[in-house]
Amino acid sequence: MLLSLAPADLVDPVPLTLGTRPVLCAGRAHALAPAGGLPRHHPPTPFARLHRRGAPLLLPNAWDYASAAALAAEGFAAVGTTSLGVAAAAGLPDGAAATAAATLALARRLGKGRFLFTVDAEGGFSDDAAEVAELARALYAAGAAGINLEDGRPDGTLAPMELHAAKIAAVKRAVPALFVNARTDTHWAAARQENETATRLALYEQSGADGVFVPGLSDPDAIAALTSTVLVPLNILYSPAGPTLPELAALGVGRVSLGSLLYRTALAAAVAAATGLRDGRPTELAAPSYAEVQALAPAEGTHDAV
């Protein structure tokens, strides 16, 4: 049984539970179906409508304006950013709250384009929910349609779930139209707290998350169990060794992210091309022309129309 005081903006932004935290159960989705699932006080945005069970949003992750624009030009409905790519490009560590300025600067550049984008903001670069909400306001003002917030920490531990829930609730109160993708790192190698996954997702849902993200989860049965109980779209990180995109769609996934895969692939391609020329090995890599890359730059005065 759960009583949420968050919509009333009362003392505690985290939903009040009677006796225990909220849990995911098999009959949960059916029980709430007549009410349309969790209560939402705002109509879905164009970005939110891209998340569909059975036809998931394939979200490629960019690290600068050119990579985002090139992906959008290929017809991807939306583009995400990769925190690893942004951090590595700036010579900074990922996951250490060191790239807040670089992330916001990138969002402002992406906002000059005409494509939907969402921003990977680590854990919000702060454990102060009010500061995370201010960051969310700035990202939305820059043109971002969504934000990804993770509960994993640099040392491999997980942030207290109530703290992460408070960040989610603060962001949704500050910017209701911003799509909050709440990530839990329970399946990452360092944390490995899979038994907490369902509890964390239920609390994040109740705190206002528009989607939930479980990177590292690749077992089809476990994915199916979550998609049958969560009420918001489930995001899965694509893995070459995991289920294919059609298989993830059949499992009911609502979003499939590529994470840092494209950035790491681009690094490998650049090094392979350079070393191949140096060592006399032929390369078959097809690169866009100078003019094609130059054309990716936004026209002066443009801004995306989210």
Crossing angle of helices 161-174 and 129-142, in 10° steps, is: 40
100-110 and 65-73 helices, crossing angle to 10°: 40
Output 299 or 94, whichever has higher pLDDT: 94
Answer whether 4's CB lies under 8 Å from 157's CB: no
- Which tens digits make up the pLDDT trace of 9-58? 433 345 545 555 555 555 555 455 444 455 565 789 999 999 999 899 99
The pTM of the full predicted model, rounded to 2 decimals, is: 0.86
Q: For 144-166, what is each residue's pLDDT tens digit?
A: 999 999 999 988 899 999 999 99
Joined tokens for residue 86: 């942004």
Distance, in Å, from the CA atom of 286 to the CA atom of 272, rounded to the nearest integer, reads 13
Question: Over the stretch 164-215, which tens digit does the pLDDT of each residue have?
Answer: 999 999 999 999 999 999 999 999 867 778 999 999 999 999 999 999 999 9
Token pair, residue 127, equals 């454990």
The reported pLDDT for the residue numbered 257 is: 98
Locate 179 and state its tokens.
């799509």
Per residue in 238-280, pLDDT tens?
999 999 999 999 999 999 999 999 999 999 999 999 999 999 9
Distance between CA 201 and CA 263 in Å, rounded? 28
Contact present, 86 and 106 (Cβ < 8 Å): yes
Place of tokens 């017809």: 75
Tell me whether strands 61-62 and 179-183 are parallel, antiparallel or unpaired: unpaired
* pLDDT at residue 97 tops 80: yes
pLDDT tens per residue, range 55-75: 999 999 999 999 999 999 999
